[in-house]
Chains A and B, each alone.
Chain A
Amino acid sequence: MGRGLGGRVTSGGSRDAVPGAGPPKMAVCIAVIAKENYPLYIRSTPTENELKFHYMVHTSLDVVDEKISAMGKALVDQRELYLGLLYPTEDYKVYGYVTNSKVKFVMVVDSSNTALRDNEIRSMFRKLHNSYTDVMCNPFYNPGDRIQSRAFDNMVTSMMIQVC
């Protein structure tokens, strides 16, 4: 799976990250959509343009549905949960992931961030899936409600871009 880009790209000088913390986290917006296509959780970092991200996630749902139905007709035995790049825009790229319970995760990343590799996105989605499963197993959580778990919030924060 590794695309073999060689060594990791270290963060640029302008970012005052902790030395040795690894590459900067990259997502700009993360959304969890229920199977009935309403948002369970949506968060974006530059909070001024929130509406733009909401709209982007909304339009990406069509692409997700297309991919799911295309997969259904495919004869391949191994159908993946990770849907890959849904569509690129000028500034952003949108990735998708669907679970067995038809809950969709949508992630918007900055296009200028070319260091982000496919398997990193996959691992971010896997973390999201695991945290979502934990939320689901919480007996105080009613399936279908908005996700208000702090643990989930913290995990998402750790994946989002660090805006100084």
Chain B
Amino acid sequence: MADTVLFEFLHTEMVAELWAHDPDPDPGPGGQKMSLSVLEGMGFRVGQALGERLPRETLAFREELDVLKFLCKDLWVAVFQKQMDSLRTNHQGTYVLQDNSFPLLLPMASGLQYLEEAPKGCPRPRFLAFTCGLLRGALYTLGIESVVTASVAALPVCKFQVVIPKS
């Protein structure tokens, strides 16, 4: 596997590039949402490919929880070289995956500069959109339709919430 920093740089550039097309920093509903959904769409397609390639040999997924465990272990290790730190569920279709030192947010966590911006909540969603799409794409390939959102409480700690609607 190539150096992990390559993906981090690529990701940072993707976010910066898509944001450059939207010069107005105030949340105008049109531009900002478009960039977010483009990022999420990219993550979705990558997630689909990974969902096809990673699970090996056996039809191991008996139930939803197994699929989520696969996401937390195999998928996270393949993309970020570490496992997800915690997985919680309410057993009714909502899962919260928590990563205590999310690699794509680590570079921001190390200075005081961005800690001041954190309460505004503004820069966060765009750095997490790709990863939300990644989770949603992998789930989709394994047969689960879901809605994935992310939130950041304190900087490198980030939570992904997966909601699987009951059909």
Interface flag for A101 (CB, 8 Å): yes
Interface flag for A143 (CB, 8 Å): yes
A46 to chain B: closest CB distance in Å? 32
Q: In the complex, what distance in Å separates the CA atom of A132 from the CA atom of B48?
A: 13
Known A101-B143, A102-B143: A133·B59 in contact at CB below 8 Å: no
Interface flag for A137 (CB, 8 Å): yes
Q: What does the 1/0 interface line of A39-65 toward B look like (CB < 8 Å)?
A: 000000000000000000000000000
Interface majority SS on A: helix, strand, loop or mixed? loop
B119 to chain A: closest CB distance in Å? 37
Interface residues of A in 42-99 (CB under 8 A from B): 71-72, 78-81, 98-99
List of A residues within 8 angstroms of B58 by Cβ: 78-81
Q: Which bracket fits the contact residues of A? A: 10 to 19
Known A35-B143, A139-B45: A99·B52 in contact at CB below 8 Å: yes
Tell me if B59 and A101 are in contact (CB < 8 A): no
Known A136-B53, A137-B53: A100·B48 in contact at CB below 8 Å: no
Tell me if B141 and A101 are in contact (CB < 8 A): yes
Closest 8 CB pairs of A and B: A79-B59, A137-B49, A136-B52, A100-B55, A101-B141, A133-B53, A133-B52, A136-B49
B contact residues vs A (CB 8 Å cutoff): 45, 48-49, 51-53, 55, 57-62, 141-143
Residue contacts A-B, CB under 8 angstroms, 13 given: A79-B59, A81-B57, A81-B58, A81-B59, A98-B59, A100-B52, A101-B51, A136-B48, A136-B49, A136-B52, A137-B49, A137-B52, A143-B48
